[in-house]
Structure 1
Amino acid sequence: MNSPHWHGPSPTLEPLSIPALFNGFTGSHVVLALEELGVWDRMKDGAQPLERLAEDTGCGVVKLSSLLRTMALLGYVVVHEGKAGLTDAGRELVDNIGFFVWGVGGYGPVLTDLADLATGRKSFGAEVHRDERRIAIGAGRVDRSLMRPVEEDVLSGIEYSSVADLGCGDATRLIRLCAGDRDRVGLGIDISRSATDLATKRVAEAGLADRIDIVCKDVLRSMSEEVFPGIELVANFLMMHDLLAAHDDGADVVRTLRRVFPDARYFLVADTTARPWDRHAGPVPVFSLEFELVHTFMDTPIMNRDVYENAFAAGGLRILRREPFGAPSTWIYLLEADGTTTPRR
């Protein structure tokens, strides 16, 4: 297996100004706060009266105004004559909100304890934990705003009556995949109890509890213990790096997935690969820097794209489609198992 991302080249790029670096910390937390208060979505349709925003969100007017004033000073909000609305930059920010829920909310505890994690005074998974619920919500938001059109295009040419989503999070994707066909059934598996509790709630709210099962399991363990027959499409979004990190041979991961889902005709895999920083030019994109940093402190290597593609080929999966997928250095693959003759639309 190729070297993990922490052994890759580290060029010195153009620096952020010190004020931008410092104020970005403040701003990112305000972005998260306004998202969890539901303010961003309320402003998408136009400027809203501050009094109404405060009433709808249960906030004190002064504190809500302070949050909005902060974002106005950073250029994302216009506050004028008692109303607050989005700038063009603010509308772009709303499309990227999921990264803030994931990175600021979900991994905030990890970032706070980087020094103790670096020295070993604390350990990830023992004294330091990520916020699994926020990670699931953030991933769902990124999915809805940036990934869905690509996914729909990639899946538009195949037929399937059953789907399993490994690492299903809040079930956003699984609900969508099953809701489009009233006879389609689904299985969602996630290690996080908070994520599966949220997924179960959302499945019920969508009226799909009779067709979608949500299971709280460690996929890494269950892969060696269970078999799930009858599943035609297996989706694995943004967690293949965890599976690769837990095994010495990526091809073994693919072969195990095929054994666990013996009837699977297609595999839909999306994941973030190591960014080629030695070829990078321009501003550092959202997501990549933190993604690689926190996974270093989780002892989870992020691999180059060719590691994935070599594993697919050696494990008996053919690449039918590969497309850029919303987040930087993130790709979606539609893979077909060797030896299948699946009908396509």
Structure 2
Amino acid sequence: MSIHAGNGKHGHSAADIFNSAVAATAIGAAWELGGFEQLHQRGVLDIEDFAAGNDLDPAATTAMFRALASVGVVIRESGKVLPGPGFDDAYRSKALFYWLCQGSWELFARMPALLRNENRTGAFHRRDQQAISRASREANTEFFDPLFWRAMATVGSSFSTVADLGSGSGERLIKLVQEYPGARGIGLDISAATIEMSTAEVTRRGLAESISFLRADVRELRPRPEFAEVELLTCFMMGHDLWPKADAVRSLRLLRELFPNVKRFLLGDTVRTVDLPDDGIPVFTLGFETGHALMGVYLPTADEWGDVFDQSGWNRVNTHTSDALAGTVVFELV
């Protein structure tokens, strides 16, 4: 297993494909249940003790680790589990497998129905949003944070207030106000439950005076006095929700109007890849792009984003790209 694509020109056996599909679900399960973390920290796991300690069925637990062993993620020896040759890659990518299997499996299982135009009206698909949220938090830390802090190195401390669009758990704002003492944070999110959760979290950490949250749809924002204080604007992992193109242009123009004193806008997202050979697609890309096609959500390319910036009054001064996850990008705008 590799985070980058291997050579698939000669194909794979049906057994390899089938076993990999089962193992993909087991990666997410082992992460959620704590098995991956125990292997990462201790380097060994006793299956019987792990099952008993977590009130798990012993036979089913053994089957989960057998699935992982079938693709080299772990090695089973006399009732114990050790990291296999593919463990490090799988551990780093665990949130991507969780997104696919625990968060989006129903979407892919219904592919035959979702391809039919007669079924593509209204709320025609479902995903496990709690699992998607957990996967997104971990993926954000693993893949987006390095790009974000690279971009922040150019921003420095030249801001007093930051607004995070689609703030989710509030973790980005928490890290920012901790890194830049005296800064204030405003989080905007469409979900009332998410706002409640993030508000409770900043209160628990003693940051309620520094960070506040507002329930709002980024696509339909209304003016607020505190927006004029914002000098740094961030938006991660939801930019594609602003599309199609005409809507994205309108939304970004609106942001320019509502946040008139912004000095930097950091927009991070996963863009649609181009010119990748079918036998050279890296981890996550195929699932992300296929999943959004099934949902009817358009994914723009980096060049298409550039057209939107030009038409909406934003100037791109830098583009930070990831070597670890294809299509992952942070646009630095002024």
TM-score tier by shorter-chain length is: 0.7 to 0.9
Which blocks of at least 5 consecutive residues in structure 1 are unaligned? Answer: 1-11, 337-345
Distance 1:27 1:241 in 2: 30
Match of 1:40 in 2: 36
Distance 1:124 1:77 in 2: 43
TM-score between the two structures when normalised by the length of structure 1: 0.83
Tell me, yes or no, if structure 1 residue 134 matches structure 2 residue 131: yes
CA contact (8 A) 1:163 1:185 kept: yes
Match of 1:275 in 2: 273
Match of 1:183 in 2: 182
Tell me, yes or no, if structure 1 residue 80 matches structure 2 residue 77: yes
Question: How far 1:56 moved relative to its partner?
Answer: 4.0
Gap change, CA 1:248 and 1:99, over 3 Å in 2: same
Match of 1:239 in 2: 238
Gap change, CA 1:100 and 1:173, over 3 Å in 2: farther
Question: How far 1:54 moved relative to its partner?
Answer: 2.4
Question: How far 1:268 moved relative to its partner?
Answer: 0.4
Distance 1:205 1:30 in 2: 33
- Which whole-Å deviations, capped at 9, do the CAs of 1:67-108 have from their partners, x for residues lacking one? 112111221012224332322411111111111222222222
Match of 2:5 in 1: none
CA contact (8 A) 1:124 1:297 kept: no
CA contact (8 A) 2:113 2:119 kept: yes
Match of 1:29 in 2: 25
Distance 2:77 2:39 in 1: 13
Gap change, CA 1:130 and 1:260, over 3 Å in 2: farther
Distance 2:53 2:186 in 1: 36
Give the letter for the 1:26 counterpart: V
CA contact (8 A) 2:162 2:185 kept: yes
Match of 2:333 in 1: 335
Tell me, yes or no, if structure 1 residue 319 matches structure 2 residue 316: yes
Q: Which range moved further: 53-62 or 262-271?
A: 53-62
SS in 1 for 2:229: coil
Runs of 4+ in 1 over 6 A off after TM superposition: none
Counterpart pick for 1:299 among 292, 296, 299: 296
Match of 2:217 in 1: 218
- Quote the RMSD (CA, aligned, Å): 2.5
Distance 1:88 1:124 in 2: 45
SS in 2 for 1:312: helix
CA contact (8 A) 1:322 1:334 kept: yes
Question: How far 1:201 moved relative to its partner?
Answer: 4.4
CA contact (8 A) 1:133 1:194 kept: no
CA contact (8 A) 1:166 1:219 kept: yes
CA contact (8 A) 1:250 1:307 kept: no
- Which whole-Å deviations, capped at 9, do the CAs of 1:180-207 have from their partners, x for residues lacking one? 2332222222234454444344434433
Counterpart pick for 1:90 among 69, 87, 91: 87
Distance 2:97 2:194 in 1: 18
Aligned residues: 321
Q: Which range moved further: 12-21 or 252-261?
A: 12-21
CA contact (8 A) 1:132 1:195 kept: no
- Which whole-Å deviations, capped at 9, do the CAs of 1:33-74 have from their partners, x for residues lacking one? 111112111211121233442244332333222211211122
Tell me, yes or no, if structure 1 residue 266 matches structure 2 residue 284: no
Gap change, CA 1:259 and 1:120, over 3 Å in 2: same
Give the letter for the 1:143 counterpart: N
TM-score between the two structures when normalised by the length of structure 2: 0.86
Distance 1:268 1:318 in 2: 12
Which blocks of at least 5 consecutive residues in structure 2 are unaligned? Answer: 1-7
Match of 2:50 in 1: 53
Distance 1:123 1:315 in 2: 31
Gap change, CA 1:24 and 1:198, over 3 Å in 2: farther
